[in-house]
Chain A
Amino acid sequence: MKEIYNPNPIISVFIEESEHFIKPVCYELIGKAKELASNNNMEIFATLPTNNPNLNLDKLKYLVEHIDIYQYSKNTNLSMLDYRDCLIDHINLHKPMIVLVGATALGRSFAPRVAAHFGTGITADCTELEFDHKYGLIQIRPAYGGDVIAMIKTPAHYPQMATVRPGVMEIPQYKNITVGSVQFHKINYIHEEINILKRKVIKIQGTKLENTDIVVLAGNAIKYPKQLEIIKQLAKLLGGEWAVTRPLVEGGLAPHDRQVGISGKTIHPKLVMAFGVSGTTQTLSGTSKAEKIISINNDENATIFKNSDIAILGDWEEIAKGIIKKLI
């Protein structure tokens, strides 16, 4: 029988360090946590497992009320079980009402274990969070493959947990006047059931998607590699990157790191040109931050037309080829 969890008015944010930096999503989570906490006198805590003694915490200290640093001895590659232990320890120490973790590869992998440990709920890949005075954390994410948005609550279990997609929330602009307290926990034990033999930074070709001004997006109407080549050529001529929606990845036409949408990437370019994209919530949640969207589709009832700045009714292939002709 689990002991009763009496939650304290605390929102805890898991801080992920990678290659001497704190991942931006952690600041985004703190920004959202501050917003959620603003009307209810809640405090923001942070927890950070690290084996880096020189990590710069100046920015973090001014954003939160308290930080637990789990300091591992040097040259130890932490595994997800070690991250799990740290977050469980932090939660046991403070009994926060809410725990937020970035939906990074690491966060998506270890945070569910922490939720299972406490027998509580966790909602993956939230795109928005709200605070309800009766139910606490309201977790919002696209559902059923992405056509609709679901609001999910965890009414009677604590902590209320969520992982949040990187890039969808704002980094906080203001700082606290006071510096948060920092507590160091020296950890000598690491799990031996998982041993990280090698860790190497990879340069993903698709990472440019998040940092490019123009994205040419291929949708469900693109069925063959030859058609995708047209999209790639157009992207190249415009000085941008090509991307795809989920069916193309599932159909094996493109790798996952080119996928835009809830189960892919959130992008914020100046322009998205969507060819043959129907406009599921799955896709639109990945493109909603684009400054402008031009869509080309032969179905006048396509949902994407209601979410575009310019909607062109026509054959995507002819129009793409027409633009290419003008640009060459």
Chain B
Amino acid sequence: MEFVVCIKQVPDSNKIDINPETGSLIRESTGAKTNPYDLSAIEACLQVKDKLGGNIHAVSMGPRQARFALRNALALGIDSAWLISDNAFAGSDVLTTSYTLAQSISKITKADIIFCGKQSTDGDTSQVGPEIAEFLQIPHASYVTGIKEVSDEYIIVNCHMGSFEETIRLSLPCLLCVEKESFVPRMSSFRNKIEAQKKPINTIELKNLIDKDKDHYGYSGSPTKVSKIYVPQIVRESQIINEITDIAVDKIIKKLVDWEVLK
């Protein structure tokens, strides 16, 4: 069986500031980490491999520095790592990111199951997984909370669809976006950590893909454009009360009574 897990390297912290004069973003250069949601995708994938055997390929799209997340995936027991990186891919929105990943995945292997995390902590859209599935013309399931049964022809999963719990049978190949709480990531073993250092990280560039038209990728291929970014305006104004605890508590209680929250 051939498995692919999509992972993203995200900033350690989301703290950003806006330069009030230029309006440009000042991103605090903190460290990087693997998107926490993707660790659960790796775990779900490892669980299926434990049952059926096979190869897991981790793919990550980003600049050369995004190798950290792949190294981490290798340490967790992933078999091969692929960095999808090219200047032509810079500035991709959801559509071009998904297209690039779909193109890359089909280049790497004929995947039976593709695993994605529910969302990323920096983009927050949850849309890349479903779009990859559309580009590859395969079914997908979102919000996967459990794997009930899996064979080389189909998989049965539980999904948390808001007010429903659904049990869904998907024919393979398919793509799954998994819930974070449901697949608690394992720790990497010392042996895997050492071995991960020796494994190569393969690179995929535009020239390796079937569609080599650079207008289909990156900023130029992206249909959505950010027209403005701003810090939201203040909607409430309050005086800061700086009192000792007892007085502060009394003031809160009085307000709760005034507002008829407490009777």
Cross-interface CB contact of A120 among B127, B143, B223, cutoff 8 Å: B223
Residues of A within 8 A of B169 (CB): 194-195, 197
Instruction: Across the interface, name the chain A residue whose C-beta is closest to B231.
Output: A148
A288 contacts the other chain (CB 8 A)? yes
Whether A112 lies near B127 (C-beta < 8 A) is yes
Residues of A within 8 A of B95 (CB): 115-116, 119-122
A270 contacts the other chain (CB 8 A)? yes
A106 contacts the other chain (CB 8 A)? yes
Whether A294 lies near B255 (C-beta < 8 A) is yes
Give the residues from 66 to 113 in chain A that come closer than 8 angstroms, CB to CB, to chain B: 79-81, 84, 104-106, 108-110, 112-113
Whether A300 lies near B139 (C-beta < 8 A) is no
> Distance in Å from the Cβ of A248 to the closest Cβ of chain B?
13
> Distance in Å from the Cβ of B86 to the closest Cβ of chain A?
20
B141 contacts the other chain (CB 8 A)? yes
> Distance in Å from the Cβ of A92 to the closest Cβ of chain B?
16
Whether B164 lies near A157 (C-beta < 8 A) is no
Residues of B within 8 A of A81 (CB): 139
Mask: chain A, 10-53; 1 = CB below 8 Å from B; 0 = not = 00000000110000000000000000000000000000000000
Residues of A within 8 A of B181 (CB): 252, 255-256
Instruction: Across the interface, name the chain A residue whose C-beta is closest to B131.
Output: A116
State the CA gap A262–B252 with chains docked (Å): 28
Q: Classify the interface of chain B: helix, strand, loop or mixed.
A: mixed
Residues of A within 8 A of B133 (CB): 113
Mask: chain B, 157-185; 1 = CB below 8 Å from A; 0 = not = 00011111111111100100101110000
Stretch from B44-52, B53-61, B73-81, B232-240 forming part of the interface with A: B232-240
Whether B229 lies near A150 (C-beta < 8 A) is yes
A308 contacts the other chain (CB 8 A)? yes
Mask: chain A, 176-203; 1 = CB below 8 Å from B; 0 = not = 0000000000000001111111111110
B124 contacts the other chain (CB 8 A)? yes
Whether A306 lies near B231 (C-beta < 8 A) is no
Mask: chain A, 123-158; 1 = CB below 8 Å from B; 0 = not = 111000000000100110001111111111111110
How many residues of B are counted as interface, with CB atoms below 8 angstroms from the partner's CB atoms? Answer: 82
Whether B124 lies near A312 (C-beta < 8 A) is no
A309 contacts the other chain (CB 8 A)? yes
B230 contacts the other chain (CB 8 A)? yes
Cross-interface CB contact of A149 among B224, B232, B240, B256, cutoff 8 Å: B232
A293 contacts the other chain (CB 8 A)? yes
Stretch from B12-20, B106-114, B188-196, B201-209 forming part of the interface with A: B12-20
A225 contacts the other chain (CB 8 A)? no
B246 contacts the other chain (CB 8 A)? yes
Instruction: Across the interface, name the chain A residue whose C-beta is closest to B119.
Output: A263
The answer to whether A319 and B252 touch (CB under 8 A), given A18-B163, A143-B229, A151-B226, is yes
Whether A149 lies near B252 (C-beta < 8 A) is no
The answer to whether A314 and B245 touch (CB under 8 A), given A79-B168, A153-B227, A191-B139, is yes
Give the residues from 48 to 105 in chain B that come closer than 8 angstroms, CB to CB, to chain A: 93-95, 98-99
Residues of B within 8 A of A119 (CB): 95, 223
Whether A106 lies near B161 (C-beta < 8 A) is yes
Cross-interface CB contact of A148 among B94, B160, B179, B230, cutoff 8 Å: B230
Whether B124 lies near A197 (C-beta < 8 A) is no
B21 contacts the other chain (CB 8 A)? no
Residues of B within 8 A of A124 (CB): 94, 124-127
State the CA gap A158–B25 with chains docked (Å): 29
A292 contacts the other chain (CB 8 A)? yes
Residues of B within 8 A of A281 (CB): 231-232
A226 contacts the other chain (CB 8 A)? no
Residues of A within 8 A of B16 (CB): 144-145, 147-148
> Distance in Å from the Cβ of B33 to the closest Cβ of chain A?
11
State the CA gap A58–B260 with chains docked (Å): 39
> Distance in Å from the Cβ of B29 to the closest Cβ of chain A?
14
Whether B238 lies near A309 (C-beta < 8 A) is yes
Of the A-B pairs whose beta carbons lie under 8 Å apart in the complex, a sample of 22, sorted by A's number, is: A109-B161, A112-B94, A113-B130, A144-B122, A151-B226, A152-B226, A156-B223, A191-B139, A196-B167, A197-B169, A199-B164, A199-B165, A284-B232, A308-B238, A309-B236, A309-B238, A312-B243, A312-B248, A312-B252, A313-B240, A314-B245, A326-B249
Residues of chain B touching chain A, judged by Cβ–Cβ distance below 8 Å, are 14-16, 18, 25, 27, 36, 93-95, 98-99, 119, 121-122, 124-128, 130-131, 133-135, 138-143, 156, 160-171, 174, 177, 179-181, 222-232, 234-243, 245-246, 248-249, 251-253, 255-256, 259, 261-262
Q: A119-B223, A194-B171, A311-B239 are in contact. List 14 more A-B contacts (CB 8 A).
A: A112-B134, A116-B131, A147-B16, A147-B231, A152-B226, A153-B224, A154-B223, A154-B225, A193-B139, A196-B166, A250-B121, A285-B232, A306-B234, A326-B249
